Amino acid sequence: MSNQNGTKGRRFDRAFKEEAAHLFQTSGRTQRQIAGDLGISVSTLGRWVTELREEDLLSGPHEDAAKEMARLRRERDLARQERDLLKKALAFFAKESR
């Protein structure tokens, strides 16, 4: 475990985060139990699990068809969000230039 302070604002390295997420996914224990054992908040552990799962999905391609479909859907959703934001920005700047 790599932390710099003993209180709020502690920093953990990627290996620690990955191990914590792996413990949750494979141990059958609750996030609350694991977070308590590791001295972190439940929300922190949940965020790490979500971030690492997202990274794994976006790292594709995957041999597992379901995982690959989830990755592609997420990628599509991100592209749609970016497109919609660009449309709004274009409309805003077109209105401003008049």
Q: What is the DSSP letter of 45?
A: H
pLDDT of residue 82: 96
User: What average pLDDT does range 42-60 have in this prediction?
Assistant: 89
pLDDT of residue 8: 64
To the nearest 10°, report the CA torsion of 6, 11, 17, 20: 10
CA 45 to CA 25: how far, in whole Å?
Answer: 11
Q: What is the pTM of this model?
A: 0.55
CA 93 to CA 83: how far, in whole Å?
Answer: 15
CA angle (31, 37, 41) in 5-degree steps: 55
CATH fold for the domain made of 1-59: Arc Repressor Mutant, subunit A (1.10.10)
CA 89 to CA 38: how far, in whole Å?
Answer: 44
Q: What is the pLDDT of residues 32-45, one digit of tens each?
A: 999 999 999 999 99
76: which 2 tokens? 């599509």
Domain chopping of the chain, boundaries: 1-59, 64-98
